[in-house]
Amino acid sequence: MSTPYAKLPAWADYGLIPLINLSVAFIVAGFVVMLVGENPFRAAVILVEGAFGKGTGVAFTLFYATTFIFTGLSVAVAAHCSLFNIGTEGQAYIGGLGIALVCLSFDSVLPWWVIFPIAIVAASAFGALWGLIPAYLQAKRGSHIVITTIMFNFIAASVMVYLLVGPLKPAGSQAPQTRNFLAGAELPKLNWMIELFGAKIRSAPLNICFLLALVMAFLVWLLIWRTKLGYEMRTYGHSSKAARYAGISETRIIITAMMVSGALAGMMALNPVMGDQHNVAIDFVSGAGFVGIAVALMGRLHPVGIVLAAILFGMLYQGGAELAFEMPAISRDMIVIIQGLVILFAGALEHMFRPYIQALFASVSPKSVGMQAVNGKGA
Amino acid sequence: MAQAAIELIGINKSFGAVRANRDINLEVARGTIHGIVGENGAGKSTLMSILYGFYQADSGEIRVGGKPVSISTSNDAIALGIGMVHQHFMLVDNFTVLENIILGAENDALLKSSIAKARSELDRLEREYGLEVDPDAVIEELPVGLQQRVEILKALYRGAEILILDEPTGVLTPAEADHLFRILKQLKEQGKTIVLITHKLREIMAITDTVSVMRQGTMVATRTTKETTVGELAELMVGRRVLLRVEKGESEAGAVKLSVKNLTVKDSRGVTMVDDVSFDVRGGEIVGIAGVAGNGQSELLEAISGIRHAVSGEVMLDGKPIDLTGKADPGELRDRGLAHVPEDRHHVGLVLAFEENENSILGYHDDERYLKGPFLDVDAIMADAKDKIEKYDIRPGNPRLKTANFSGGNQQKIVLAREMEQDPGVLIVGQPTRGVDVGAIEFIHKRLIAMRDQGKAVLVVSVELDEIRSLSDRILVMFAGRVVGERGPDATEGELGLLMAGVEHQEAAE
Ligand SMILES: Nc1ncnc2c1ncn2[C@@H]1O[C@H](COP(=O)(O)OP(=O)(O)OP(=O)(O)O)[C@@H](O)[C@H]1O
Ligand SMILES: [Mg+2]
């Protein structure tokens, strides 16, 4: 018997339902805006214009999206193996440490295009390592990955505070951060890409990490649906008994999946650290890891969906910043509320409207129900 | 004439291009047992799922007790007094028997009184019908045979007036099935109406009043049971004559390929499930293990295939030992020529969420044939899946279809095709034809015998005595974890039945 959730045509499943969830989130957010005495329609216009209206806005939106693509992919890879990696936040933070070590050592002697690949390796290695320990504990000792990854977020935060107020802080500096990197550790911007379309950009942090993120999205797709490893991860993700039967080692698959997940999380740090700030500062991840959970859920754990969801959240970040600036009654915290509503409706309450839509489909055109199963998942 | 309990009029249902039900008319008289038979994928389960509110018909009408009704959820169906025992268990694996029984029927937040009530009610049902299960056992620790009992109890607990049973006897021995039939007859006498889907024509003859035959989505005939024969039904189902017992020649047993010595296996609670079992399987012979479900057969298969940890003993494959610590790599055993068709195809043998082609390589995904370096060779996998679909007549023949959407019998063929086509030296099979139609049984039996004739060693575990008797060159009977007897293929059903019930064993112990 098929699950009750497998009965809609693909376009409704992947298009209509997210759209409805999103609309509801925005309607509720609109009420919140009304509550503080602002015009919700004007707020919506400011938000969208802030995100996409001008070249600079687009560049910022894509800059934020880049970060979320990495964290979303990280969560998704683990989820395909039925592991709920809440540790993306900490893995990204520690990834930043790897980057700092590479940049601080080589930025005076090497050009960016040599440092960049080394930094990618370091960021992924550090992130992977931070994923490895909870994975090992899960695989060997049965410690639940949700608990251990949360704890590792705290450990990562403490380690970084220690390093950033101590060994990594330049002598005499007041700020808890590394020294600024030299030109060798600065990644090229991508603003010319948007200027191609005729827009003008003042200064925006969009950099080549965006392209790296898209490449990673493709590689994750390849990994999950086209490699033996991905096949094994999905098998284990669906049924650990079937995995055992098929000769897939539980220990190996859990550890591998979490290391890949951690590596993707670690790479996220490249974007703000080498692309924008040019230093590693305290709390530079600032919740992007958790946004990654929402992005992965909303994107249905599929790289294409994740890229789209990441752009949506990038828009909320950038447009939200504009909104807080233009409408004084709407504070930074209100923006967080709006983001929270999107997460709530698109992530946590994903299935809320599904039964109604299913019933609607069944009554309007019973034939369409069940099509999806026949067409396959199209991945 | 008795009033109709259920009338289905002009029911149509398509899944994309697959027309699972076309213009089905069916009338079931109150207080009767009505059988439905048909090939795998004929649309039986779909039709019953429509009646039970799992699917919506594209068109058509349902009447219950003469009144047109609309059933859009299974709650509607339950409210109309319709209960269903599903072909595939609908139990929560990590709940206890009791928790599963009250699931959906709980009526207070603390569950205290429902649990107490359920416990006494369950106790009554168990005693009344002789369906013993430990109410506090966790489902996943029960063998499939007992899980089935829970399903039946669950439906009875809801006190349905109309009871639909979709292949309820799939894992029961004839004795257990007889027991179930006594229950069904009792229910019928109390005026309840029963719809029974089964592939076992013998059961149809034994218990039903009327029988309907489906073929490729249509209802081809309805007969009064007394006026039909097994042969006629089989022919109506398949559209050609069917061999009900496959012919086979003498076996030419060769060298020992699989040897089990003093094997002892415990389950996760430390209960001894396999107790000092020894036997050999030679190339060119089929050894059948008969026994009532839950007497250690499942654990035996799992231990031999390297999935389950054995406490002591030795298993040799082609003269070399198998790691019995539970850390054996089933992949390595496959490389050594051991293929395993597990009893539980839904959780072990298949990943239901996968596409058919993905399941057709499960366990062999390490094989170079399906890989290009670290990548899956999608074209090769597809071609291979299509090939198996063709050879094993798996329907619908679409390798991109999600496995959960294949009918039960076709899912079984997917597993069998995968394991048999690897050309293994030793094949161990749990319940080879569970839920498979007569035509496909004929086919599968022929295949197994062909493997034997090629000199392979075949070990079959089945609760179907007929199957064991018609396939095996030697029959071992398991009872309470021990092999309590060995017989030749000409052993009578009565003789085996006694062994299975542990009669001789108990006498010996005294
Ligand atoms: N949800 C679904 N989506 C697509 N196709 C389906 C779905 N459910 C069933 N089918 C198809 O409909 C047909 C009828 O299936 P059904 O399960 O009713 O057969 P059945 O007669 O019960 O067979 P079996 O004896 O093997 O259990 C099959 O071809 C099956 O693959
Ligand atoms: Mg069926």
Question: Domain containing A132 — which CATH number?
Answer: 1.10.3470
In this prediction, residue A314 has a pLDDT band, given cuts at 50, 70 and 90, of very high
* Contact between residue A51 and residue A61 where contact means Cβ atoms under 8 Å apart: yes
> Across chain A, what does the average pLDDT equal?
88
- A132 within some domain: yes
| Residues of chain B contacting A245 with CB distance shorter than 8 Å | 305, 307, 330, 340, 342, 348-349, 362-363
CA distance B374 to chain A (A): 6
Half-sphere CA count of B98, side-chain side, radius 13 A? 17
How many whole angstroms separate alpha carbon B43 and alpha carbon B21?
6
Asked if B200 and B330 sit in the same domain, the reply is no
Pocket of ligand 1 (CB under 6 A): A 2, 370, 373-374; B 15, 18, 20, 38, 40-46, 87, 395-396, 405-410, 435, 437
Looking at the DSSP assignment, which residues form a beta bridge with residue B84? B164
In a domain, B293, yes or no: yes
CB-based contacts of B238: which residues, under 8 Å, 6+ apart?
B39, B215, B437, B438, B439
Q: Does B385 touch chain A (CB under 8 A)?
A: no
Which structure tokens are listed for B454? 């090629």
What average pLDDT does the segment B30-42 reach? 93
Mark whether B175 and B260 lie in a shared domain: no
CB proximity B124 to A under 8 Å: no
A204-219 per-position pLDDT tens digit: 899 999 999 999 999 9
Q: CB-CB: which of A2, A229, A241 is closest to B404?
A: A2
Per the domain annotation, does A129 fall within a domain?
Answer: yes
What is the mean predicted confidence (pLDDT) over B52-79?
A: 90
Q: What per-residue confidence (pLDDT) applies to B270?
A: 84
d(CA A359, CA B354): 26
- With respect to residue B246, please indicate whether it lies within any of the assigned structural domains: no
Output the CA B230–ligand 1 centroid distance in Å.
24
Cβ of B351 and A235 within 8 Å? yes
Q: Do the domain assignments include residue B380?
A: no
What distance in Å separates the CA atoms of residue A154 and residue A152, rounded to the nearest whole number? 5
In a domain? residue A340: no
- With contacts defined as CB-CB under 8 Å, which chain B residues touch A232? 365
- Are the Cβ atoms of A377 and B86 closer than 8 angstroms? no
The answer, yes or no, to whether residue A371 has pLDDT greater than 60, is no
CB contact under 8 Å between B365 and A238, yes or no, is no
Residues B60, B88, single domain; the answer is yes
* Interchain proximity A245–B340, CB inside 8 Å: yes
CA of B45 from ligand 2 middle (Å) equals 4
Distance from CA of B293 to the nearest CA of A (A): 20
Q: What is the pLDDT of residue B500?
A: 86
Query: How distant is the Cα of A224 from the closest Cα of chain B, in angstroms?
Result: 10
Residue A260 lies in a domain: yes
Rounded mean pLDDT, A301-326: 91
For helices A250-268 and A209-226, angle between their N-to-C axes, nearest 10 degrees: 160
- Tell me which chain B residues have a C-beta less than 8 angstroms from the C-beta of A228: 365-366, 371, 374-376
B166 Cβ under 8 Å from any chain A Cβ: no
CA of B343 to the centre of ligand 2 (A): 17
Distance from C-alpha of A353 to C-alpha of A351, rounded to nearest angstrom: 6
Closest residue on chain A to B87 (Cα) = A1
Location of structure tokens 């679409």: B398
B329 with B468, same domain? yes
Do B21 and B60 sit in the same domain of this protein? Answer: yes
- The residue type found at B112 is K
A352-355 contacts at long range (C-beta below 8 A, 24 or more positions apart)? A352/A21, A353/A17, A353/A20, A353/A21, A353/A24, A354/A5, A354/A8, A354/A17, A355/A4
Does the structure show a pLDDT above 70 at B399?
yes
Q: Is there a domain that residue B136 lies in?
A: yes
CA B295 to chain CA centroid, nearest Å? 17
Q: Are residues B289 and B191 in the same domain?
A: no
| Closest Cβ opposite residue B15 in set A232, A359, A370 | A370
- Final residue in a domain of this structure, among B238, B270, B291: B238
Residue B2: band (very low, low, confident or very high) from pLDDT cuts 50, 70, 90 = low
Q: Please tell me whether residues B325 and B447 are part of one structural domain.
A: yes
Distance between Cα B357 and ligand 1 center (Å): 17
B12 touches chain A (CB under 8 A): no
> Is B14 near chain A, with CB under 8 Å?
yes
Identify the residue with better confidence: A191 or A249.
A249
Q: Are residues B323 and B284 in the same domain?
A: yes
The shortest C-alpha distance from A216 to chain B (Å) reads: 17
- Whether chain A has a CB inside 8 Å of the CB on B400: the answer is yes
> Which of B13, B14, B18 should be mutated for ligand 1, with most atoms under 8 A from CB?
B18
Nearest to B401 among A229, A366, A374 (CB): A374
Q: Cβ of B188: how many Cβ atoms within 10 Å?
A: 17
pLDDT of residue A363: 67
Going by DSSP bridges, is the β-strand pair B218-224/B210-215 parallel, antiparallel, or unpaired?
Answer: antiparallel
Taking one residue from A and the other from B, the number of pairs with CB-CB distance under 8 angstroms is 116
Say what percent of chain B tops pLDDT 90.
51
Displacement of CA B321 from its chain's centroid (Å)? 31
The answer to whether the CB atoms of A247 and B17 lie below 8 A apart is no
CB A265 within 8 A of CB A127: yes
Chain A: residue whose CA lies nearest to B363: A246
pLDDT of A211: 96
Does the structure show a pLDDT above 60 at B414? yes
For residue A40, pLDDT over 50 is answered with yes
Cα(B409) to centroid(ligand 1), Å: 9
Decide if A42 is inside a domain: no
Tell me whether residue B410 is in a domain: no
CATH classification of the domain holding B272: 3.40.50.300
User: CA-CA distance, A280 to A264, in Å (whole number)?
Assistant: 18
Q: What is the pLDDT of residue A331?
A: 82
Q: Choose the closest CB to A242 out of B59, B340, B351.
A: B351
This model of the complex carries an ipTM of 0.83
Which of B190, B209, B238 terminates a domain? The answer is B238
Average pLDDT over residues B221-243: 89
**Which pLDDT value is given to residue B402?**
94
Residue A38 has pLDDT above 70, yes or no: yes
Residue B472 has pLDDT above 90, yes or no: yes
Per-residue pLDDT band for B150 (boundaries 50, 70, 90) equals confident
Nearest chain A CA: its distance from B248 CA (Å): 32
Domain that holds residue A266: 60-309
CB contact under 8 A, A247 and B329: yes
The first and second tokens of residue B201, run together, are 């024509």
| Count of domains observed in chain B | 2
Q: In this predicted structure, which of A306-315, B119-128, B271-280 has the lowest mean pLDDT?
A: B119-128
Read off the pLDDT of residues A108-147 as tens digits, 9 standing for 90 and up.
899 999 999 999 999 999 999 999 999 999 999 999 999 9
Count other C-beta atoms under 10 Å from residue A16's C-beta: 15
Chain-chain contact of B366 with A247 (C-beta, under 8 angstroms): yes
Contact, B403 vs B414, CB < 8 A?
Answer: yes
B93/A contact by beta carbon, under 8 A? no
Domain-located, residue B364? no
Residue B56 covered by a domain: yes
Please report the atom of ligand 1 found closest to the CA of residue B217: 14
User: Counting ligands in written order, which one lies closest to the CA of residue B38?
Assistant: 1
Query: Residue A373 and residue B401: Cβ atoms within 8 Å?
Result: yes
Same domain, B133 and B272: no
If asked whether residues B168 and B279 sit together in one domain, one would say no
Domain end residue (candidates: B184, B210, B238):
B238
Confidence of residue B160 (pLDDT cuts 50, 70, 90): confident
B361-397: per-residue pLDDT in tens?
A: 999 999 999 999 999 999 999 999 999 999 998 989 9
Local confidence band at A376 (pLDDT 50, 70, 90 cut-offs): very low
Atom of ligand 1 nearest to the CA of B437: 25
Domain region containing B25:
4-238
Strands B210-215 and B33-38: parallel
H/E stretch holding A210 reads helix A209-226
Ligand nearest to the CA of B410: 1
Residues 250-289 of B with CB under 8 A from A: none
Q: Please tell me the distance from the alpha carbon of residue B463 to that of residue B435, in angstroms, as a whole number.
A: 12
d(CA B215, CA B19): 12
Segment B162-206, tens digit of pLDDT: 989 988 877 666 667 777 888 888 888 888 899 999 988 888 999
User: Which residues of chain B are within 8 Å of residue A256 when distances are taken between CB atoms?
Assistant: none
Beta-sheet pairing, B375-376 with B426-430: unpaired
Q: Classify B396 as helix, strand or coil.
A: coil
B21 neighbors B11 (Cβ within 8 angstroms)? yes
Number of domains present in the structure of chain A: 1
Asked if A228 and B366 come within 8 Å (Cβ–Cβ), the reply is yes
**Closest atom of ligand 1 relative to the B214 alpha carbon:** 21
Q: Say how many CA atoms lie within 13 Å of B29 toward its Cβ.
A: 13
Residue B279 lies in a domain: yes
Q: What is the pLDDT of residue B18?
A: 85
Indicate if B190 and B263 belong to the same structural domain: no
Section B469-475 average pLDDT: 94
Say yes or no for a CB contact (<8 Å) between A245 and B348: yes
Closest alpha carbon within chain B to A234? B354
Q: Are A348 and A95 in contact (CB under 8 A)?
A: no
Is residue A234 included in any domain, yes or no? yes
What per-residue confidence (pLDDT) applies to B173? 64
User: What is the nearest CA distance from A278 to chain B, expressed in angstroms?
Assistant: 37
Q: Do residue B187 and residue B336 come from a single domain?
A: no
Instruction: Give chain B's mean pLDDT.
Output: 88
